[in-house]
Amino acid sequence: MHPSRYFSADYREARERFLAAASRTGATPVAETNPAAGPSGETLSTDVLRLGPTDAERVLVTISGTHGVEGYCGSGVQVGWLESGLWREAPEGVAQVHIHAINPHGFAWNRRVTEDNVDLNRNFPDFDAPLPENAGYETLHAALCPAEWSAETIAAAERASEAYAAEHGPLGLQGAISGGQYRHPDGLFYGGARPTWSHRTLLSILERELAGARHVGILDYHTGLGPYGYGERITVHAPGSAAEQRVAQWYGGDFTNPLSGTSTSAVLAGTNCAGIERRFGERALTMVALEYGTEPVPEILEALRADNWLHRHGDPATPLGREIKARIRNAFYGDTDRWKQDIWERGIDTQRRALAGLAGS
C-alpha cells in the first residue's frame, strides 16, 4: 500500500484517523480542548498518545501541527506509524509520546498561526526579559501587510523586499521577515506578548509525560523550506554543545543548524526548542525539526501575506477568500503521492534513528 493513504484532506479527518489508529494500540489518547472553534463551529483538540512504560527514562516525542496548516505532513507520519504497527519497533524501556495537532486552530483553518495570530515557533522567548527586536521587519511591515489586497500592493511588497535584499542579502531578507517580531499583533511571524494556549498546552503535556525521563528525543514536523519533498533535519541546539553532538551522532551528521549558517532556515527568535530547553534543561534533550520543502520561498511568503490580509480585512467565504485558502494549503502541503512518499520515508527513517539513539543512551 502506498503511504499516501496515511495523509488526510483536512483537520477533521486527520484527527479522526489519529484517534482510530491510536485505539488499535490499546492505549488511550488524552484530548486537550482548544478554546476556539473550527470553521464549522466544531471543537478543536490537541490529542496526546503515550506508548510504553509510564516510568520510562528515555522518551521519544513527535509533534505535528506546530504551524497549523503544516500539520498535514506530521499527522500523516504519526497516523502511518501507528496504523502500520511500526510503533512496536520501540526498544524495550523507551516510551513514545505522539502529540497530534498542537496548534489545532491553525490546522483546522488552514492557517500557519494560532487563534490569536501568533506563530507558535516564535512564542517561546523569555517573556520576563525584554522581547527580541527585529529592525528589518519594522522596515517592511507596512508593505508586507497592506489594508488592501491588489496587484498594486503585491507589487509594492515585492519592490520593498527586493530593495531590502539588495542591501542585506536574500538570507537577511528572510531573517527580517520570518525571524520573528513582537511589535505587530496583526503582522507576519508575530511571536506574541504572552504564552499562547498552544504554548501552555505543549509545556503542560511535556511536564506530565516527561516526569520520569532523563533523556528525551523530540521530532517536530514542519513544511515550507527547501527542495520539494526533501526533509531537512534542523537543530537549534548551541553549536558544539553536547546536544548538537548527539544530533550529529544519531543522524550520521545529516543535519543543519541556522546558528552555524548551514540551514535553509534563518535564525529564529522564541523557538519551541529554546522554550523546552529553558523548562527541561536538566534532562538530556536531543531535538530536531524535520522541515520538508514544498514551493519556492517567495511564493510561500506571498501565500502567507495573502492569508494574513484575508483574516484581517477580507472574507474567507468569498471566491477570493477560497482562492487564498487553497493557495496557503498548497504552499504547505504537497498533496501528491510523490511528496507523501518522500515525507513518509524520511520521517520513518528519522524516527527509527531517534529510537536507536535513545536506546543507546
Nearest to 82 by CA among 10, 9, 29, 13: 29
Chain position carrying cell 511528496: 339
- Cβ-in-10-Å burial (0-12, 13-18, 19+) of 64 comes to buried
pLDDT of residue 348: 98
Give the separation between CA 134 and CA 132, rounded to whole angstroms.
7
**pTM, 2 dp:** 0.98
Q: Band of the pLDDT at 361, cuts 50, 70, 90? A: confident
pLDDT of residue 203: 98
SS3 47: strand
| Residue 189 predicted with pLDDT over 80 | yes
pLDDT of residue 131: 97
Q: What is the CA radius of gyration of the chain?
A: 19
| Residue 1 predicted with pLDDT over 90 | no
pLDDT digits (tens, 9 = 90+) for 70-129: 999 999 999 999 999 999 999 999 999 999 999 999 999 999 999 999 999 999 999 999
Q: Please name each of the domains of the chain with its CATH number.
A: 3-128+196-294+333-359 (3.40.630.10), 135-178+299-327 (no CATH)
pLDDT of residue 41: 95
Q: What is the DSSP letter of 292?
A: E
pLDDT digits (tens, 9 = 90+) for 203-225: 999 999 999 999 999 999 999 99
Contact (CB, 8 A) for 314 and 245: no
| Residue 59 backbone phi and psi in degrees, to 5 | -135, 130
| Residue 276 predicted with pLDDT over 80 | yes
Residue 47, C-beta contacts closer than 8 angstroms, at least 6 positions apart: 15, 18, 19, 22, 29, 30, 31, 32, 99, 100, 101
pLDDT of residue 91: 96
DSSP string, 61-91: EEE--TTGGGHHHHHHHHHHHHHTTGGGGSP
